Amino acid sequence: MQRRQLNSETFEQRREDEAPWLAVFVAGWCQPCDLLLSRLSAMTPAAGRDLPVGVVDVEHEPELAERYGVKGMPTLVLFIEGEPRTTRVGALSEAQLETLCDEAARG
């Protein structure tokens, strides 16, 4: 999966994109976050599953975390047509990540 670090400015640019994408809110001290990011990196872009991923460090962007109700980490927010559609919390399994990607592909 394509992964990119986001700050508040680049997040807003990305949010305006109509194409589905996944925001992942993490922190440097969060071990489940590392596990999730590793799983995302290992996923191969299967048909319709090449979902862009934007990573937000909540320690550097607390306002973004607050705006999207991030209370636990990692938090994943699926954006479709510029709006948050689905939120998941925790180090999702590969199967759960694939389900989320399938949801994005369906739009």
Write phi, then psi, for 2 (nearest 5 degrees): -75, 125
* 30: annotated active-site residue: yes
The CA-atom distances, in angstroms, between 30 and each of 7, 19, 34, 83 are: 19, 29, 7, 26
- Among all chains, which residue has been given the structure tokens 């636990």? 72
CA 41 to each of CA 1, 92, 97: distance values in angstroms, whole numbers, following the listed order: 6, 13, 11
Residues in the chain, total: 107
Q: Which of 22, 24, 30, 100 is catalytic?
A: 30
Q: CA–CA separation, 22 vs 11, rounded Å?
A: 11
Catalytic-labelled residue, pool 24, 33, 36, 101 = 33
Q: Is 101 a catalytic residue?
A: no
Which residues are annotated as catalytic?
30, 33
